[in-house]
Amino acid sequence: MNYKATMVDVIVVGAGLSGLQAAADIHRAGYSVLVLEAMDRVGGKTLSVKPAPGDGVVDLGAAWINDTSQSRIFGLAKRFGLELIEQRRIGLCLRQKKNGRVDAYCSGFGEDSEDPGVLALYQMVTRLAESWLGPDAKALDSVTFKALVQANCPGEAAMDAADLLTGALFGVGASEISSLYVIEHVKSCTGLENLLSDMEDGGQYLRVREGAQTFATRLAELLPPGAIKLSTPVERINQFPDLCAVETLTGAVFSSRKVILSVPTTAYNTIDFNPSLPPAKQSLADNTIIGYHAKMVLVFPAPWWREAGLSGAMESTKGPISFTRDTCSEQDGHYSITCFMTGESGRRWSMLSAMKRREEVLRQFKEVFSTSRSGSMLAVVPAVPQPSEIVEKDWACDAWIRGGPMPVMPPFLLDEDGGRALCKPFGHVHFVGAEMAAVWRGYMEGAVRSGERGAEEAGSALRDGEMGMERREVRALL
């Protein structure tokens, strides 16, 4: 086969935010680009749907941004003329303990706790994320986050808080993840307070009225017609001295000078690399972990929780719901609370039938929101109404995502060759994704930044190749 007959400059594998940002940058630089996407849509882990005709949209994947430390994604929001909704924080939040007790609190994580172990956990993570770890990095990478908390933060409440934290951020238990990975993630997201905050500078400050998937659809519109091929899973990437041949499960073969791979490290093993991935890259494919994250959006005719003085936010170490947020769009007459099922309790819940899953979520939801105690204060919602619509998304059931929100590392991987190899190119292949971002890792901001970095790498390699060819042509003439 004459591979060069159908060659483009760059093939991007994956039409999530990283891949589409890379493709848009490559196209803007004047190079030809082709995007191959396994799913039948663009957006990756962003997915926005209408729960009912005329309603606003709900985000079943990534949803939040801010307008300060997330300059790239906020810049796209302004460029595309998207309307941003400030996350509602008015009212009491609720916290359910393992014994079923529900307390009310104002906001925050850790710093509002009366438990010394939980407070110590918050202070420890904050201190480590603000420090230069240096020689301590290897020691932190040799233990799980659970072991680190057990050694430094007394009490069962601290362990529950650790699992709640890693479940919310990564979809895994504290016993599954490297301590160093947790600390480096917090550092990349400008600190624990910002990472967990719904306020300005926080990770959950703004939502997109049109839905977060709009970022992907608008980026896709920047590409030439036909530049994106959906439902085209990549089966094999062959590298030759001057080109790559990318084979797909549809039987089509495409060629390029460079490839930008925008799929999770946990999906590398779904692709046959020829030649094989270097050992450090293969170690990432074999050892990174994808967590469990599912959403169930409960849509109501009216925001009854606001009338009861509640924010709509709750957290629980009992499960199956790990935490919730108010996700209303008042302009659209849309009133909803989104429930997150994460980590081990989420995995157990996912094994139930569809009917039983809904029953369990509604049971716990009503249990938490019907009564709450905080000292002598009692807030009561006499009868939590039935939702008018329920929208569920289990990312573990998505054949091309398999979980969420991003792959994470167990001990002995980040500080070894795997960590150093994460973003390193392999021949003509460059690697991008939210998990590889240096800033706001795992978030839409990180995805966009990673795509920019991959496009710059590939573009630089193309320019170097063109200069080398020009020099060879000059020598030939001489």
Residues of each annotated binding site for substrate: 340
Q: Specify binding-site residues.
A: 18, 37-38, 234, 340, 435
Q: Which of 405, 455, 459 is nearest to 435 (CA)?
A: 405
Q: What pLDDT is stored for residue 150 in this prediction? A: 97
- The confidence score (pLDDT) of residue 478 equals 45
pLDDT bracket for residue 1 (50, 70, 90): low
Q: How far apart are CA 395 and CA 266, in angstroms?
A: 14
Dist. CA 323–CA 72, nearest whole Å: 27
pLDDT at 53: 76
- Tell me phi and psi for residue 245, to 5 degrees: -115, 120
Q: How far is it, in rounded angstroms, from Cα 175 to Cα 309?
A: 37
Tokens of 131: 């420090």
The predicted-structure confidence for 418-449, as pLDDT tens digits, reads as follows 788 999 999 999 999 999 999 999 999 999 99
The whole-angstrom separation of Cα 31 and Cα 9 is 6
Cis before 405 (ω within 30): yes
Q: What is the mean pLDDT of the chain?
A: 92
pTM to 2 decimals?
0.95
Q: Annotated binding residues for FAD, as ranges?
A: 18, 37-38, 234, 435
What are 253's two structure tokens? 């073969």
Euclidean distance between CA atoms 237 and 324, whole angstroms: 41
Domains and CATH numbers, the chain: 3-44+213-277+426-477 (3.50.50.60), 47-70+77-108+202-208+292-404 (3.90.660.10)
Please identify which residue in the block is written with the tokens 């529900």. Answer: 102
| Span between the terminal Cα atoms of the chain, in Å | 34
Specify the pLDDT at position 189. Answer: 97
In 401-461, where do the E strands start and end?
A: 407-408, 429-431
| pLDDT, mean of residues 146-172 | 96
